[in-house]
Each structure stands twice: as structure tokens, then as C-alpha cells.
Amino acid sequence: MAKAFDFPGGVHPPQHKTLSNQTPLIQAPLPRRVVLPLAQHIGQPAQPWVKVGDMVKTGQVIASAVGLISADLHASITGEVVAIEERPVPHPSQGMAPCIIIEGDGVTDEWETLSPLDWHQSSRDDLIERLARSGVVGLGGAGFPTQIKARVGEHHVIETLIVNAAECEPYITADDLTLRTYAGDVLEGAELLARLCGAERILVGIEDNKPAAIEALEVALADRRGDLPIELKVIATRYPSGGEKQLIKRLLDREVPSGGLPADIGVLCHNPGTLLAALRAVREGRPLVSRITTLTGEALARPGNVEARLGTSMAELLTFAGLDTTQLSRLIMGGPMMGFELASLDLPLVKATNCLIAASARELPPPTPEQPCIRCGACEAACPVALLPQQLYWFAKAREHDKAELFHLFDCIECGACDYVCPSHIPLVQYYRAAKGAIRAQILETRRAEHARHRFELRQARLEREAQEKAAKRAARAKATSRIAKQSDKNETASGLEDIKTLRIAQAAAKAALRKAEKALARAGESGDGNLEDLEIQLATARENLQAIQARMEAARESAS
């Protein structure tokens, strides 16, 4: 066994792995009907590409990724799309989510695959594009899109790729059987992802309770032809060695900083199932339409591991494994430490379903009622992150979220080790999850309020800018109007002067006409010749004309002054 470093705390719960690791991996029957939730990954749900009534082949894209962190979804059987609607999904919320339902005949299985690629020869961009088009996500339970993780080397220097084969949680043996069956492919998948992220070496971390898988890996390592150094490190079994931070600590003696990621210290971790799916997507052009799942628990007559199509009913799978409903007390998805209880058997297998435990009442009895904390400190001793679970419990219970954050609440990996050792049976992780949810909701609300404030400020700035622009335009118009008015005044003044000059001429002419009329009337009066009445009218007219011209001159002078 290789030298291993250590992390604090940890527990040794009963393994119960022999229930499911005694038989070879088998293929589950082809289902006649699958229910495929659009959100089987972290990020935005995929967008449907098909409509009710469409005929689809296995491997055909039926929903495409939305946004940066999302994944495509593919038909897992050949058949007809009979509905796109909300259905119950396996989630801690026990809620509903949009799903695509496909019905087949249970026999026909026509595939639509992508063209195979030689990952040694293909470009990095082509390989990442292939992973994106194949819908590959982390199959350890996280559901993080693999193509995003493969690009982490663009922002971090990755030195080591770790194959996380610890599978530390009780009951789960999916990775164990994956390695026993496909050890060579898992290692080749690791080389593929190492090339994409730029890692210089590969470490396979596995617990010593998987001797068959270790042997298979040793054989595969002896047969491999690649140049990249691959080292197998076997560590002592202790929960939760499979946590990324804990495994890195045990293998490399490095600590992921609080709030940080393994990439911050040059490490990237992948689950064996993810590596196998990535290799199949590239080498065989086969999208992710199935996964290896552990079916275990005392309520099953034939527990084991199956490779089953996504969307298969859990009830069908458990019936295939010999479910005795009279013995079934609790159905848990995942392990007993980090998994969650399902309220119904009528739920579909999803990409994150690594294990289904059909437990009897004796095996996993209902949770014991919570008792008051006795401040024993057992939770602190078991915590693998060196937190203060008891203190976090008080903060979470009192909704003192700011203090919980100060005590590194978000460093908690929710492994459940504190729950396991708590003599008061306090569901500590539930308190932490609730507190994290409340803090995330508060952060989201704060971001929304901040976004609304920014929008308001931008609107105010826009209105102010528009008002300034309008004011500037008004000022420009006023200036232009003033300039025009002044020019008009000048024109009017010049016109007035011109009118006075014309009126003076007219006045002189009127005076001359008046004098002429006076003389003509005088001569006619002295001589007695001519029509005196007409001459008097001409004289009066001349006088009126002269007076009118003089009045107009007076008005023109006033206007020009």
C-alpha cells in the first residue's frame, strides 16, 4: 500500500458492500418506456428538440443544452415521444420537473451515434465539442458537465488528474464493478481527460476494500501503452475518503483552500464512471444514454450492479433485482450517509443515480427522534473538514447565518459523519443544508435587489442624460431663434428706413400736388374760367392725400426709432 497522508476525523460505518459486489455487472432489460427529466445536470435544464409524436432513435438528441453550464439529453430507447410534461423526479425536494416520455416496444433498439474519433489524433476543440454533444456529466452524483471541467486547464495549471475510485460510502459498489469490468477503458478515459486539461500525471486513488478492482487496475496498468505516468494508490478504508478534498489530502498532502476548488492547487478529480462515459463518447461516438447503478438492500433478492438505460423506472429495476415490497421500508437514492430518501418507486433512473438502496426496517430503521444536544463534541472529532459542527448547529438553528458563514459553513461537504456519531440523533446536515439554502436565497435576493438598483440608477442616468440633451437642444433652438430675430429686427429697421425715404418722396409729390391744386383754384377764382367745384374737390383730395402720407411717415419714424 502506498504511503498516504491523512485528513482529520472520519468514521467507519458498516460497509454493506458485499450485498452487491458478489455478482458480475449485467445489463438491465431494455425498458418499454422511459421518463427523461430535462435537468439531469447542474445548470439550466435542457431545451426540448422534439415534440409529441416524433419517432426517435437511441442516442438521438432530444433536448439541447441551455447556457454555459448545461448538457444535452439523448433518447435512451428507440420509440415515440408520447408526452412532454411535468413528472415526479428523484430529488430531495420530492417535486415535479419537465420530462420527455418515450415509449418503445421493448425490443427494437436502433442507434443514432456520432462518428468515432481517435482521441490521440483529434484536436482538443473537437474532443471538447464531442463531450458536449454527448451529454456527459459527472456520474459520481454531482452532475457537472464534463466538457466544462475538461476546459479548466484554460484558467488553471493542472498538474495531476486523480481518478476518484475511493467509493467510500457504504452499500455503493458501482465504481467497484466499473473498474473490475472496464479497468482499461477507465484508464484510457483518464488519459483522454488528462490530455484535455493538460495534466502531467494520473493518480488512481482507491480504498483497500476493493481488492478485485485493484487487481483489475494493476493488470490494466501492466498492459497499457500510454506515455503519461499513471500511479495506483491504495488507501485504508475510512469514510469520507472519497470526498475530493479528503482524497487530495490523502494522496498528495495538499489542502484545497476554503471556498476554493481542487483546480486552485493544480488537481482535477474524475469519477471512473465519468471517464468511461467520456471515452465511449469519443471512441465509439456513443452519447450518455445509460449508467452503471448499484441495486442493493435487504429487500432485494438479487442485489448487484446493472447498466441501465436512463429514464428506466426504478420500480422496474428493483423488480428485476427481486424486490420484496413487504420487506421494503425505505428507498434511498445514493448512499445512506449522503443520499436521500425517495417517496415513491415510480421515479426514473437519472444520470446522478449511482445507487438505489431498498432497505428493510431492520437494516435502515426510521430516524430516531432528535434529542437535545449534550455538547459531547463527538461531531467535532468526526468532522473531516475540521469544522465545529456543534457550533454550526446552534448558528443554523438560531438562523444566525452570518456567524455560520464566519465558521465556514460552506466548507461542509455534507458527508453526514457528524450525524452518524451524534448520540442525540440530531440531523445536523439537514440544519446545515437549510442554512445554506437560506443563505443562497438571501444572496440571490440581494443580487436581485442589486440588479434592480443598478437598473434604477441606469434609468435615472438615462433620464438625466436625455433631459440634458433636450435642454441643450432647446438652448440651441433659442439661440438660433434669437439670431433670426435679431436679423429680422435689422431687416425691419432697414425696411422702415426704406419706407420713410419713400414716404418723403410721396410727401413732396403730395405737397406739389396740393400747391398745384391751390394755384389752379386761385387762377380759376380770379379769371372765372373752369369748374370751381371740381377744382375744390381736387384741392381737398390733395390735402387728404398729403395728410395721409404725413401720418404714415410719423408711424414709420416711430417704428424705426
Give the Cα separation of 474 and 459 in Å (integer).
22
Cβ of 255: how many Cβ atoms within 10 Å?
A: 14
Give, for 290, the enclosing helix (H) or strand (E).
strand 290-296
Residue 168 assigned as binding residue: no
DSSP output for 320-341: HTTB-TTT--EEEES-TTT-EE
Strand partners, 293: 306
Instruction: Name, in order, each residue with C-beta under 8 angstroms of 45's C-beta and a sequence gap of 6 or more.
Output: 37, 38, 39, 63, 66, 70, 97, 98
The answer to whether 379 is annotated as binding is yes
Q: Supply angle C-alpha 318, 323, 329, rounded to 5.
A: 100
Annotation-wise, does 415 bind a ligand?
yes
User: Does the annotation flag 355 for ligand binding?
Assistant: no
Place of cell 464493478: 177
Q: Residue 240: is the preceding peptide bond cis (ω within 30°)? A: yes
Instruction: Report residue 147 as a C-alpha cell.
Output: 466538457
Q: Is 269 annotated as contributing to ligand binding? A: no
d(CA 191, CA 193): 6
**Cβ neighbours for 524, distance < 8 A, ≥ 6 positions apart:** 530, 531, 532, 535
Ligand-binding annotation for 418, yes or no, is yes
Pinpoint the alpha helices (H) of 226-377: 244-252, 272-279, 314-320
Question: Annotated binding residues for [4Fe-4S] cluster, as ranges?
Answer: 373, 376, 379, 383, 412, 415, 418, 422
What residue numbers does the annotated binding site cover?
373, 376, 379, 383, 412, 415, 418, 422
